[in-house]
Structure 1
Amino acid sequence: MGAAGRLGCGPEHAAEAGWRARIVLMWADASSLASIVRTLGKTKKTAYRWRVRYLEQCVDGLARDDPAWP
């Protein structure tokens, strides 16, 4: 399965997958936390959550929410 499939990139999930990927890309581009939060309209907790998930699980970590994950 390709990365798009792992991200749940059907039409209903495209927007979610997009902002999750943007969080990771902005961190990689050395954007500040304040800039990420302001640009994407997400909370600090959300930005950190998806960064950690990506660092721990790579692209698979950006898949749809897992209720068991804190």
Structure 2
Amino acid sequence: MATKNESIKEKSKTSPIDVSKGLDAPEFTKEQIVKSNKYMARRDALNALLDDGKTYSFTEVDEILKKFDKGGK
């Protein structure tokens, strides 16, 4: 029978959620993103770039902003 410490070691071997393997990342509406503290400095750009009624992950928003900063939409 496994001891408590061995059981804890086994559980710690599991990896956190990896979004690159197709698992769903949290998604947020344009309104939620624009109001977030994370994107406070980019609110004007996000209001212009994001579509109403669509949801975005932080990764998608970061990519949209990166592309915008390089001169594309």
TM-score by length of 1: 0.29
Greater RCO (Cα-Cα under 8 Å, separation 6 or more)? 1
TM-score by length of 2: 0.29
- The structure with the greater share of residues assigned to helix is 1
Based on CA coordinates, which of the two structures has the bigger radius of gyration?
A: 2
